[in-house]
Structure 1
Amino acid sequence: MSRKGFPEVEQQYIDHAREQALIALTSADTPQRLRRHYCVDTDFAGSSFTRITPNTSDAITTADLLATTMLSASVPAHSTRLLLDDKSTRKTVRRLLDALPDRRLEDAKAKHYRPMSDVYDFLKEILGRAGAADPNPWVTASKLAARKRPDLFPVRDAAVRGLLRVSELRDYGKDWRVFRTLMRDHDVSDALDTTIGALKSLETDCRVKADKERLRILDAALWAHATDLDPAPCVDHDSDS
């Protein structure tokens, strides 16, 4: 069904997501958890997901697929060949990526929903082609879209969706609406600023390469909180193994 803008979401889901986001961002452990997530000396993908090059704005490359798989997402062989080698598929990808708005999710308007959904729907279709090994193409499609536009598409990790209860909505557009609302919320924005500042103060403890995009930091903070990521410094933790 074609939509003219981001779908409406019941207020109870907005309120719950906001509450959980504030709990995660104001937790004393969150900066330490993010430090571990973004430390280059750990096996977490945080420091690499958006940084692996090349990351051209109008194409999907082997670097994009590698970055996506680092978030525990599978890219089927058939889909890989289509995305990298098939001229028609690559032409469509270029057209759809070029149509995306050059703005952050919190600045996205109703008219920007359609080009966003066009990208997601096409990637999901390619990743879910008959015979593909990926039983949940929406997972990989979301992460690949987030790789291409990390300040526009949330990753939609299962743990985060469960924490925010948006998994109950069963609608990617409503997921985006919830994340857009969170990014626009003054209290969430202030808490995110505080978290980013606290993370920067910890960067001298280990080699940290955090994302530049605020949406990615929020996504990572929610994931680290939802999964109860070990907040121990990466050097101390790894020396015990």
Structure 2
Amino acid sequence: MPDEHSLDGVPAGWPVPNEAALVKARRATIAALVDVERAGRRLGRYYDPAGEFAGATFRTVTPNDPGQITAADLFAVTLLSVRLRPAAARRVLHDEQHRDAIRRRFAAVPENADLAEADVVTLDDASALYEDVKRALASPRSAKSDPWVTASKLCARKRPSLLPVRDTKVRELLGILPGSDHRHDWLIHRELMRDSEIHRLLNDARARATTPKGTPVDIQDPSLRVLDVVLWTHAVHLG
């Protein structure tokens, strides 16, 4: 795992995780994947079309317009245990200032962008997208409003190969301190996605995904989203 001075392709001004943070996140990820049979069962349960988890629907519910946020996207994130307030939904869907800003950001971030390979321009544009989505969701009546989880999940639905689903459980599992910058977290996820052993174990777990009844599950999500699921299901002790 590289140290903080050897991370390449980091935009200027981004908070760079140190070596200890990267090592801790890698160890936690390997621990979640090393028993690939068990990881495969957790994946199968999460993606089971007959089950109670969001895997089979979060990305596939339509429409999923890559250039804007629609009511279908808001519905999709509620499947990930997000509580979306009515005023926030109205701002995202109907406030023209917010909608125009978010559309411009989407236009700047390639639909097929991949976190492991993203250049500094794409990363900076993705960060600006995330900030505008979070700004639209935040209550203008509260200076403490910080809907970072909802913004992360919305952005992850729209750019699933580029932006991870950040939530408290996964961040705790990876040893990420509360309140850390999203850019710091993204760089940790980028190093995980660049790791050859993690890549191998993730593919093995995906290939072993089966429902509780033993039926194989064909997971079509990109690797970053599958890694999110592996980490979350391990963190909550699913199966």
TM bracket (short chain): 0.7 to 0.9
| Alignment match, 1:237 | none
Cα 1:73/1:45, change in 2 over 3 Å: same
Q: Which amino acid aligns with 1:193?
A: N
Give the secondary-structure state (helix, strand or coil) at the position aligned to 2:177. Answer: helix
Q: Is the 8 A contact 2:15 2:181 kept in 1?
A: no
Q: Which amino acid aligns with 2:52?
A: D
Q: Which amino acid aligns with 1:98?
A: A
Matches of 2:61 and 2:13, distance apart in 1: 32
1:86 aligns with 2:92: no
| Alignment match, 2:75 | 66
Matches of 2:12 and 2:139, distance apart in 1: 27
CA-based RMSD: 2.0
**Structure 1 residue 136: Cα displacement:** 4.2
Q: Which amino acid aligns with 1:35?
A: G
| Alignment match, 1:37 | 46
| Alignment match, 2:207 | 197
Q: Is the 8 A contact 1:5 1:113 kept in 2?
A: no
Q: Is the 8 A contact 2:78 2:84 kept in 1?
A: yes
Decide which structure has greater helix share. Answer: 1
Q: Could you list the runs of 5+ residues in structure 1 that have no partner in the other structure? A: 231-241
TM-score scaled by length of structure 2:
0.87
| Alignment match, 2:21 | 13
Give the secondary-structure state (helix, strand or coil) at the position aligned to 2:87. Answer: helix
Q: Is the 8 A contact 1:5 1:110 kept in 2?
A: no
**Structure 1 residue 40: Cα displacement:** 1.4
Q: Is the 8 A contact 2:113 2:159 kept in 1?
A: no
Cα 1:207/1:62, change in 2 over 3 Å: farther
| Alignment match, 2:161 | 151
Q: Which amino acid aligns with 1:69?
A: T
**Structure 1 residue 208: Cα displacement:** 3.8
**Structure 1 residue 168: Cα displacement:** 4.5
TM-score scaled by length of structure 1:
0.87
CA offset digits 1:143-178 (Å, max 9, x no partner)? 111011111110012111000011346111010000
| Alignment match, 1:233 | none
Cα 1:110/1:169, change in 2 over 3 Å: farther
Matches of 1:60 and 1:227, distance apart in 2: 29
Output aligned runs, 1:48-63, within 5 Å. 48-63=57-72
Which one of 94, 101, 105 corresponds to residue 96 of structure 1?
Answer: 105
